[in-house]
Amino acid sequence: MDQLMGLGYIVGTALVGLITIGLIFARLYRRSSKELAFVRTGLGGQKVVMDGGAVVLPIFHECVNINMNTLKLEVSRSGADSLITLDRLRVDAVAAFFVRVIPSVEGVASAAQTLGQRTMHPDSLKELVEDKFVDALRAAAVSMGMHQLLDKRGDFIQAVQNAVSEDLLKNGLELESVSLTRLDQTPIKFFDSQNAFDAEGLTKLTQQTQQRARERNEIEQDTAVAIAKKNYEATQLKLNIEKDQTFATLQQQQEVATRDVQQKAEIASITAQREREAQQAKIDAERLVQEAEVEKSRAIRQRQIEADREVQVAKIEQEKQTTLVEQDKQISIAEKSKAQSEAETLAHQARALAAGAEEQIK
């Protein structure tokens, strides 16, 4: 029993020890991320942690956090600090530099060594590298004239990138891109006439300004002449158009009047023709009516004649039939008389024979 209790105590102590070690390990273990890397120095030497983690022991280790995000560092040069160009003019420029720590062990180590915690604070990082950017801008600007800068912004940006990229590598940084957000001529009030460069630039700028003024004046005068000429031509054209419109209106009115007369004549002719046609139609209708009446009378007379003839024929036929009937009647009477006579004769003869017979009997 005592042995079991002793074994349980040992197991419990070991388990508590493991849990304690695990908690300490979890508290001392640091992880990196896609946005944040760190460099651990001290016990065991330098260790760059970009993907994973490492145990950081207080007192024995020191860590430098490195921001892996792309940072925008904006540099502005204007006024007295503006950029001087090849033709000794000045330009105000605002450029945005997009930089990030090179995502490699060497890049992160260089950034930690030369920049420290500045990658976590863009303003502090800008203070450190701004002079490099300004130097690159000045070097690129002085190699090109002002008009070239305006016309070939891409070449200017490429020159700035080429000038600053290699220098940034020493700090473990890489330049992703440069954006020129503003580029304009510096106002004349910022040119120092006591400065040789500015004096030369002022001379050129004055010459260009005066030349532009003369050209602008010539253009304005030419424009005024062209406008006056155009107005004159427009007035002439307008008058010609109005004249043509007047002539066209008069001609149209004349054509309308002529057409109106023609239409009235045509209407009168058509009306007369229609009246003649109506009169002729009336005459034809009356003639047809008269012809119809004559034909009707003739037909009536013809029907009357035929009816009289039929009546006469019927009468003759009736008389004929009556005669025939009478003849038949006379014949019938004659035949009946003859038969009666013959019968009477026979009867007489019979009576005579009967009387003779009686005589003989007696």
219 domain residue, yes or no: no
Structural domain contains residue 134: yes
CA distance 145 to 153: 11
**Which residues constitute the domain of residue 158?**
69-190
Which has more pLDDT, 4 or 283? 283
With cut-offs at 50, 70 and 90, classify the pLDDT of residue 96: very high
Q: Do 39 and 61 lie in a common domain?
A: yes
Signed CA dihedral, 40, 45, 51, 57: sign only? negative
Please name every residue paired with 184 in a beta bridge, in sequence order, or none if there are none.
Answer: 92
Closest CA to 38 of 25, 51, 24, 57: 51
Q: Residue 235: pLDDT above 90?
A: no
Asked whether the predicted pLDDT for residue 255 surpasses 80, the reply is yes
User: Do 121 and 165 belong to one domain?
Assistant: yes
In contact, 105 and 49? CB cutoff 8 Å: no
Q: How many domains does the chain have?
A: 3
- Higher per-residue pLDDT: 315 or 75: 75
* The domain boundary residue, chosen from 190, 216, 240: 190
Last residue of a domain, one of 65, 84, 101: 65
Domain-embedded: residue 355: no
Query: 139-176: per-residue pLDDT in tens?
Result: 998 888 888 888 888 888 999 999 898 889 989 999 99
Q: Which two tokens stand for residue 284?
A: 């034809």
Beta strands 36-42 and 173-185 are unpaired
Same domain, yes or no, for 51 and 125? no
Distance between start and end Cα atoms, the chain: 208
Lowest mean pLDDT among 75-79, 124-128, 161-165, 286-290: 286-290
Q: Are residues 295 and 257 in the same domain?
A: yes
Q: Is the pLDDT of residue 227 over 80?
A: yes
Stretch (H or E) spanning 45: none
Q: How far apart are CA 174 and CA 165, in angstroms?
A: 7
Residues 76 and 184 in one domain: yes
Sign for the pseudo-dihedral over CA of 317, 318, 323, 327: positive
> What pLDDT is attached to residue 19?
67
If you average pLDDT over residues 291-304, what whole number do you get?
Answer: 79
Predicted pLDDT at 135: 92
Give percent of the chain above pLDDT 70. Answer: 82
Model pLDDT, residue 152: 87
CATH code (residue 107): 3.30.479.30
Q: What is the pLDDT of residue 100?
A: 93
Mean local confidence (pLDDT), 213-218: 79
Residue 205: per-residue pLDDT: 64
Q: What is the pTM of this model?
A: 0.52
Least confident of 44-53, 84-93, 147-156: 44-53
Q: Is the model's pLDDT at 198 over the cut of 60? A: no
Give residue for tokens 């896609």: 34
Q: What are phi and psi of 216, to 5 degrees?
A: -65, -40
DSSP readout, 55-86?
A: E--TTTEEEEEEE-S-EEEEEEE-GGGPEE-T
Quickly tell me which residue has 């007379």 as its tokens. 301
Question: Is residue 63 scored above 80 in pLDDT?
Answer: yes
Q: What is the pLDDT of residue 240?
A: 86
Same domain flag for 109 and 52: no
Lowest mean pLDDT among 59-73, 83-97, 345-359: 345-359
Which contiguous run of DSSP H or E holds residue 200?
helix 196-361
pLDDT at 357 over 70: no
pLDDT tens sequence across 100-117:
999 988 988 898 888 888
Mark which of 39, 65, 91 sits at the end of a domain.
Answer: 65
Residue 119 forms part of a structural domain: yes
What's residue 72's pLDDT? 93
